Amino acid sequence: MNSERLRELVDRYYLGIAPEDEVAELDAELREDSHARDVFIAAARLETNLYDEAINAVPAMESGGDPVARRLPVRAIGAVATLARSLKTPSTVAIAITLIALLALVFWPQHPADRTFVTLEQTRAALWESGDLPTADGSRLERGTLRLAEGLATLKFDSGAEVVLEAPASLILTDAMNCVLNRGTAVSDIPESALGFRIKTPSADVIDYGTRFAVSVHEETGETHTHVIEGRVQVEYAQSDEVVELTTGQRNTVVGDTIGKVTDDAEHEHKTIAVKPLDHGPGWTMLESVRDAYTGNNEDHNSDVLLLVKKAIQDGRVNRIAYIGFDLKDINQQHIEEAELLLYFAPTGWGLASHMPDATFSVYGMIGDATDWDESILHKERFPAALGTPEVVHLGSFTIPQGVQKGCFRVRTEALSEFLRTHPTSEISLKVVRDTVARDNGTLVHGFASRRHPVLPPPTLAIRQQAR
Amino acid sequence: MRLFVRHERELRAYARTLLPTWEAVEDTLQEASVVIWKKREQLDDEAAFLPWAKTIVRFEALKTRRRVARDRLMLSEETIARLADQAAESPDGLLDRERSALQHCLQQFSDEQRKLLLAPYLSSGGVRDMAERSGRTANSLYKLLGRLREKLSQCVERRLTTATDGGMS
């Protein structure tokens, strides 16, 4: 028997959860192997020490720590057992044990004064919906619900777990080791102290064993997507005992009645969740980009999952411009009443945010030959649809405030709707450029999620059509 | 009884090796303490107390085993006999050194984790109760507990090795 199996059997035996076959297996090993007996005897010492710690911890955790009460449970168990046997009435034992359990409950620590266990460390461009918790940066939070309509919020649990909540999201704080994500995305960083940190979702429980991972929940379907960035997590299917383990780079989706298979980065692209923006009700169709890429290749400055956008100097090949393609084949373009483009920005890690003032971005529609581009060639030195030519139409602009690098930014203009309505084909090409030039070199590179991003939604076109 | 109190923890660990539950251990120690009291005249050397008391605990443990055999999964008598012989030779003071290592190691866990680590000893359904309160399955909590216990025991071992090395130099 290998030592791992032996330790497991010993541990389960002492916890009283080993079934008959495991006890038999352990028995055979202990009978034959003196080293196994050493392990078993050492475990009994650890058990004894833990037992003593537990007995002492009960009153120690309440204020004062009365020395008489310290050994009370154990003394009482022993004394009552002796007494019960002398009386020959086994039921007394049961009654006494119940009493002791009650005593233990009374001694169990309660902190009515401070029930908080989470600090709302910082928010970025956050907009909160009604919830029952304070939302100022630095607030200490107790049990309750956070509803983030826009932006990002970083939560630090007292267990050490850090969770970045990405809007739109709804999170119930349960305790320092547990929370419930009902919609949106939570990216967690779990140190050793929070081993076992759990995020419950409507369809699964994701339990962390020391790692960074992302969980996304689609509000309407309850679909849970889990992606392990580093480390190991366990995904438990809510409706049965089914469990899968994910390690670095692996993903899993739990949908409805099924716990999906585990996939690796290399093999599959992650299907991001179409997070439904808050103000798109019934009647809206959400289209995800079918192709996207950016120009301005710089050998060591690339991203596979973000579309990089930058303007360093007025013109030049180091500038980066993003291109996005949508397919409107399932839309009756003439009936488009309203349209909105949603881009989910995330930090790229390049450039200095402090050197970047409020940044304005413009979205252009491409027409004619300019629409003829594909993802593979864009990294080269091609800039389809140069600005100022008849091949581009300005559709709208948005501004990202200084210091903000994350969040959903939108363009919702009549020019965009008109462009989609009148475009001669169903294939739509848009380009996104940054208008604002940074103060000097080392300028910030902005980036938004491409359709390959593991967690953030891809560029999305929300379209409302005329009711027929 | 002074000797019994001084060695109670060693005797408890010894009894734990031989018995399937803490309840059985406490019963056995109660019985053994009575026997030790009654037979105290037999002992003329204090230094011989622990081995002598262990023999009594072993005998009482066998009686307890027979009593609880019906409703408990237990190791065979032959295995227990071998364990009893081997555990009788445990080095003095090891249990206490391990205790202080354990106290140090427990500090490295969060409050929640400590609570879980100690839950099995506070009531028989401690872990199950915790599972219910936190909305987890008992299965998953036991799995987590297993990992925490593994970490804890590694920490204790490591600390003991370091302390021993340090003490030698």
* Cβ–Cβ below 8 Å for B135 and A194: no
Task: State the average pLDDT over residues B146-168.
Answer: 78
B155 touches chain A (CB under 8 A): no
Kindly report which listed range (A46-60, A183-197, A217-231, A367-381) carries the lowest average pLDDT score.
A367-381
Q: How far is Cα A355 from Cα A441, in angstroms, rounded to an integer?
A: 9
Min distance B47 CA to chain A CA atoms (Å): 21
Task: List chain A residues with CB under 8 Å of B9.
Answer: 48, 52
Q: How far is Cα B99 from Cα B83, in angstroms, rounded to an integer?
A: 22
Q: How far is Cα A204 from Cα A255, in angstroms, rounded to an integer?
A: 9
Scanning B94-153 for CB atoms below 8 A from A yields 94-95, 98-99, 102-103, 106, 108-114, 116-124, 127, 134-137, 139-140, 142-153
Taking only the tens place, the pLDDT of each residue in A195-229 is 888 898 878 888 888 788 888 887 766 688 888 88
Taking only the tens place, the pLDDT of each residue in A347-373 is 887 777 767 788 899 999 998 777 777
Taking only the tens place, the pLDDT of each residue in B117-154 is 999 987 667 788 888 887 788 888 888 899 999 999 99
* Cβ–Cβ below 8 Å for B99 and A52: yes
Choose the mutation target among A17, A35, A37, A46 for the interface with B, i.e. most B CBs under 10 Å.
Answer: A46
B20 touches chain A (CB under 8 A): yes
* Cβ–Cβ below 8 Å for B113 and A195: yes
Choose the mutation target among A51, A158, A239 for the interface with B, i.e. most B CBs under 10 Å.
Answer: A51
Q: Which tokens belong to A207?
A: 């339990």
Q: Which residue of B has its CA nearest to A234?
A: B140
Q: How far is Cα A407 from Cα A237, in angstroms, rounded to an integer?
A: 30
Task: List chain B residues with CB under 8 Å of A192.
Answer: 108
Task: Specify which residues A306 forms β-bridges with.
Answer: A449
A160 touches chain B (CB under 8 A): yes
pLDDT at A265 > cutoff 70: no
Instruction: Round the average pLDDT of chain A to a whole number and report it.
Output: 78
Amino acid of residue A214: A
Q: Is the dihedral of CA A87, A92, A93, A96 positive or negative?
A: negative
Give the total residue count for chain B. 169
pLDDT at B76 > cutoff 60: yes
Q: Which residue of B has its CA nearest to A109?
A: B115
Scanning B36-55 for CB atoms below 8 A from A yields none
Q: Which residue of A has its CA nearest to B111?
A: A159
**Cβ–Cβ < 8 Å for A119, A140:** yes
Task: State the average pLDDT over residues B23-48.
Answer: 86
The share of chain A scoring above pLDDT 90, in percent, equals: 28
* Cβ–Cβ below 8 Å for A49 and B99: yes
A162 touches chain B (CB under 8 A): no
Kindly report which listed range (A278-282, A422-426, B76-80, B160-164) carries the lowest average pLDDT score.
A278-282
Choose the mutation target among B96, B121, B130, B140 for the interface with A, i.e. most A CBs under 10 Å.
Answer: B121
Taking only the tens place, the pLDDT of each residue in A86-112 is 444 444 455 555 555 544 544 444 334
Cβ-proximal residues to A52 (8 Å cutoff; 6+ apart), any chain: B9, B99
Task: List chain B residues with CB under 8 Å of A34.
Answer: 82, 86
Task: Please tell me which residue, B30 or A97, carries the higher pLDDT value.
Answer: B30
Helix, strand or coil, per DSSP, at residue A203: coil
Task: Please tell me which residue, A355 or A174, carries the higher pLDDT value.
Answer: A174
Opening angle at CA A371, ends A388 and A465, nearest 5 = 100
Scanning A30-69 for CB atoms below 8 A from B yields 30-31, 34, 37-38, 40-41, 43-55, 57-58
Q: How far is Cα A378 from Cα A371, in angstroms, rounded to an integer?
A: 12
Q: Which of B98, B110, B146 lies nearest to residue A45, judging by beta carbons?
A: B98
Task: List chain B residues with CB under 8 Å of A43.
Answer: 153
Q: How far is Cα A125 from Cα A153, in angstroms, rounded to an integer?
A: 9
Task: State the average pLDDT over residues B32-40.
Answer: 86
Q: How far is Cα B92 from Cα B89, in angstroms, rounded to an integer?
A: 9
Taking only the tens place, the pLDDT of each residue in A107-144 is 444 334 577 889 999 888 888 876 678 888 888 998 88
Q: Which of A46, A193, A205 lies nearest to residue B153, judging by beta carbons?
A: A46
